[in-house]
Amino acid sequence: MKRLIEFPLEDGATILVEAEVPEEPGMIPAARGERGVLKAQQTFEAALDRIRPAAQVLIQKLRALHDPPDEIQVEFGLSLNAQAGA
């Protein structure tokens, strides 16, 4: 089930993120918080900081190849939740 999660930004603004929340047996959908929006427990920037090391390692390894590419394009998915962030 998809849910909206409101992440605070470091500048005081907020951003809404749609996230997939797995349904558990016996779970009944119900609204939480304002308008059914979950409140994240950390800033959006802090959540993204958790994936930075993986992205940096990927770029470093590709640049360190014997014959490094002239251009690098990487696509990946990002899963967020209200408690753990990214």
Q: 9 is in which domain, residue-wise? A: 2-63
The length of the chain in residues reads 86
Q: Is residue 83 included in any domain, yes or no? A: no
| 3, 4, 21, 29, 79 from 82: Cα distances, Å | 10, 9, 10, 16, 11
> What residues does 37 pair with on adjacent strands?
4
Q: Is residue 59 included in any domain, yes or no? A: yes
For the chain, residues with pLDDT lower than 50 are 27
Q: Is residue 73 included in any domain, yes or no? A: no
pTM, two decimals, is 0.58
Q: Is residue 82 included in any domain, yes or no? A: no
- Give the chain's domain count: 1
Name the pairing type of β-strands 37-39 and 14-20.
Answer: unpaired
Q: What is the pLDDT of residue 26?
A: 57
Task: For residues 22 and 2, give the distance between their C-alpha atoms in angstroms, rounded to a whole number.
Answer: 8
Q: What is the pLDDT of residue 27?
A: 47
Q: Is residue 37 included in any domain, yes or no? A: yes
Q: Is residue 29 included in any domain, yes or no? A: yes
Q: Is residue 6 included in any domain, yes or no? A: yes
Evaluate whether 9 touches 15 at the Cβ level (below 8 Å): yes
Using alpha carbons only, give the angle 44, 46, 43 rounded to the nearest 5 degrees.
Answer: 40
